[in-house]
Chains A and B, each alone.
Chain A
Amino acid sequence: MEELNWWEKEKKKSLYNELKFMIPEILFLRGVFAENRKLWWVSFPFHFGLYMLLATLFLLFMGAVGMALGVRIASGSSACGSFLYYLTILTGFIGLTLGTIGGLGLLGRRLGDQELRKYSSLADYFNLILFSFFLISALLAWLFHDHAFDGARAYIYALLTIGGQPEGYSSPHTFLGQLAIVLASLLAAYIPLTHMSHMFMKYFIYHDVRWEDTPNLKGSRIEAAVLQNLGLKPNWAAPHIGADGKKTWVDLATSGSKESK
């Protein structure tokens, strides 16, 4: 809209600019860093840790698929097997340590900072405690039983092969490992029901709301949607609106109100 006759101009879109903004925003929480540094010190490790854990999950899945196809995922195996093996350890380690530090840090901030505490509900604390339980149990399971995530990979393998067990691996079935798996499953089911889904919803909020500026041009898809909505029948009750549940938005917008006559 900074251009003369903007409606005649082609709408410029740039994937490069979008990525240039979104990658630092999603991975490093650029906005929180710039506007709320105090929170960033705990929010960044938490979120980055979770991204690393998602990456770890993906790598474990890839490893399990590889094993099902006969690829050995271990130190000193094929280049591909070794790469997956070490990369999983790296992302898993970073994810669990940063996630745990961040999760506990966020919980501490929410409890210790009056500005956050006043706006926090029991559900907010429960969410962070559930996350922290999972992260701590997974961290301890990694530390004491599963340094290379072989057990976690075997679990995914078992899911993929309906109970199968990778060749040469005997699952120790530790309490901490099982606890981490149960808590991770609970979280996966629970997150979409909470505001914590903002991690994923952010994409839609940015694209469909914050950046959505497609103009309503004649004959466009937007115009068709607007026309459809203008045909809806509101029932707002204030007298000046004049709605009766039968009049459409078009009727109301073109009628004026009784008070203004």
Chain B
Amino acid sequence: MNPKVKPSDIAKPSQRLAHIEPGELPPLPPPYEDFNRVTLSALKEEKVAAIESSLDDTVVIAIPKPKNKEEEEKHLRAFLSGLRKLFEKENNWGFLQPLLLSMEHCARCQTCSEACPVFEMSGRQEIYRPTFRSEVVRRLYKKYIKPGGKLTSKLTGDIDLNWTTIARLAELAYRCTLCRRCASVCPIGVDNALIAHEIRKLFSQEMGIAPREIHEKGTLQHLRVGSTTGMNPVAARDSIDFIQEEMEEITGYKLEIPWDKEGAEVLLLHNAGEVLSWPENVGAFAIIFQAAGISWTLSSEELGYDVVNYGLWYDDVQLARVAVKHAEIAKKLKVKKMIIGECGHAHKALVVISDRVLTGNLNIPRESGFVLLDEIVSSGKLKFDPSRNNFPVTLHDPCNVVRAMGIVEPQRRILRKIAPKFREMTPHGVDNYCCGGGSGFAIMSGFNFPEWRALVSSRKKFLQILDAFKDEPQDVPKYVCAPCSNCKGSIRDILEYYHAKERSRIHYGGLVELIVNAMADMKKPMIKFDEGAL
């Protein structure tokens, strides 16, 4: 760690601006001390020779280095053009006001830094401080966009603009999970996560630069094929038909999953990742809705079976395109409302952000699945035997559900009713910590990024999980309830990385699986520890 790094250093070429040495990361408790000196595997020289990798020990975007001076100049011009557009109403009307306020009113008091799990868990690497990237953008904005900026930059904070600056800044925008914990503690209301989001937008919308996982394999594939998983409608139906059969076999419950039912009250939208990685989640939703007599349907239309919207993380136009498709499907099916399954970022994208995109007939009511599940569980329509969930359960709060939407109690009311050994993490609710996989990190897998995620961005969550179960015997199976696909993927990865299943018998899963497991009508349990994917 180099504690002397300051924002203007981003422009000074060097091999790496930040580096984590063994032993620099905050320690883990027993029996995980053997990870305390583990650090990231070095990037292979031959693999990074042609790409930009001078920010830190990992790479997400892998921007090719410019071939010549002309190409470099072209990038610089495009960057400045994009930066200017971020501050123009016609180009950025959705986020202009909070961006301007965050640019102009930050007191640089560093209150946000203490709230940032990435900064804290990196051993306080200066470049991961929320204000670091914001200050870089602020200085560039003041110097190159504001009138007279070049004259006043010596007073307001100088910075050079060159290829190193923009290449590192692009990567640095992907070292923040956009959890917005920093924004929630800022005494003034400055949103540093928003600034990271705006940098991502600038690179994507102006320069066409974005991580492959969220752009090419993300929104582009989503709009082209129907799902970011690559599943087309036929494959999606086949998979869910298979899930239907599997569920009957697992639980003994006869299930009929409705497809494309026009006039149903509810269109249930899943993250298609569930279909492939956690099919029991899709099945559990179906069991609950059927048992509760909900009038519902799934959609087999392209995008209708995959509620993700990766545009939320990096590109407003892509976000709008996906959101419009989702709304068009609901409109065509004439449903009364759209219900979002266990997918945190889809909650924010479809309920919150799309609220400023969808108008008229496309503005179909959208609701969190947690709220409807709470209603079902509280209504008495289903009979529960909570003793079936007689194992320690802790709840991970997806940032987009709690902090962005204020949905905190419904999921807790459910757990209090069906999980007798439910214990909270500290802190939780709107003060929760990100799983470390937010803003697309959970699906980014290039180079050694999964290691960075496990060691740095997910470390706080792992510590929280261990703390929640610290009074439980080691040999008792424990359940981390993570009602969000990305969070679940991220928690799966940290439990695997630290061998937590073997060492502490910590398992993970969603909320609906716990509900079904406690349903008295189920002939067989849904949750079977130490068997299958759990």
Chain A residues within 8 Å of B, Cβ to Cβ: 1-7, 25, 29, 31-32, 34-36, 39, 43, 114-116, 118-124, 126, 195, 197-198, 201-202, 204-206, 208-210, 215-218, 222-223, 226-227, 229-230, 232-241, 243, 249, 252-257, 259-261
Contacts and interface: CB of A to CB of B under 8 A. Distances in A.
B3 A29 contact: no
B82, B90, B111: residue with the most chain A Cβ atoms closer than 10 Å = B90
Nearest to B115: A35
Nearest to A218: B363
Given A226-B356, A234-B90, A205 B367 contact: no
A7 B365 contact: yes
Q: Is the interface of B mostly helix, strand, loop or mixed?
A: helix
Contact of B104 (A1, A43, A195): A195
B420 interface: no
A115 to B, nearest CB: 5
B223 A260 contact: yes
A35 B205 contact: no
B85 A235 contact: yes
A227 B216 CA distance: 30
A254 B324 contact: yes
Interface in B197-255: 204-208, 215-216, 219-224
A236 B317 contact: yes
Nearest to B351: A1
A216 B90 contact: no
B97 A226 contact: no
B336 to A, nearest CB: 9
A226 B114 contact: no
A205 B208 contact: no
Contacts of A36: 109-111, 114, 187
Contacts of B360: 218, 223
Nearest to B110: A115
Given A202-B105, A234-B90, A252-B321, 10 more contacts: A1-B351, A1-B371, A4-B372, A5-B367, A39-B110, A119-B131, A195-B107, A208-B97, A238-B204, A253-B320
B75 interface: no
Nearest to A109: B109
Contacts of B94: 229
Interface residues of B, number: 81
Contacts of A215: 355
Contacts of A234: 85, 90-91, 317
A170 B222 CA distance: 80
B185 A195 contact: no
Contacts of A255: 321
B277 interface: no
Contact of A253 (B157, B189, B351, B357): B357
A43 B111 CA distance: 12
Contacts of A254: 321, 324
A2 B359 contact: no
A253 B321 contact: yes
Contact of A119 (B135, B190, B191, B318): B135
B205 A238 contact: yes
A67 to B, nearest CB: 38
Contacts of B318: 240, 257
A4 B371 contact: yes
A35 B111 contact: yes
Nearest to A34: B185
B113 A115 contact: yes
A128 B114 CA distance: 24
A115 B135 CA distance: 13
Contacts of B410: 2
A23 to B, nearest CB: 14
B155 A121 contact: yes
B78 interface: yes
Contact of B188 (A205, A233, A260): A205
Nearest to A8: B365
A241 B205 contact: yes
Contacts of B223: 256-257, 260
Given A31-B187, A205-B105, A5 B356 contact: no
A183 B318 CA distance: 52
5 contacts: A118-B126, A232-B93, A252-B321, A253-B324, A255-B321
B405 interface: yes
B189 A206 contact: yes
Nearest to A239: B208
A35 B204 contact: no
Closest 3 A/B residue pairs (Cβ): A205-B189, A253-B320, A260-B223
A78 B384 CA distance: 75
Contacts of B111: 31-32, 35-36, 39
Contacts of B256: none
Interface in B320-370: 320-321, 323-324, 337, 351, 355-360, 363, 365, 367-368
B389 to A, nearest CB: 23
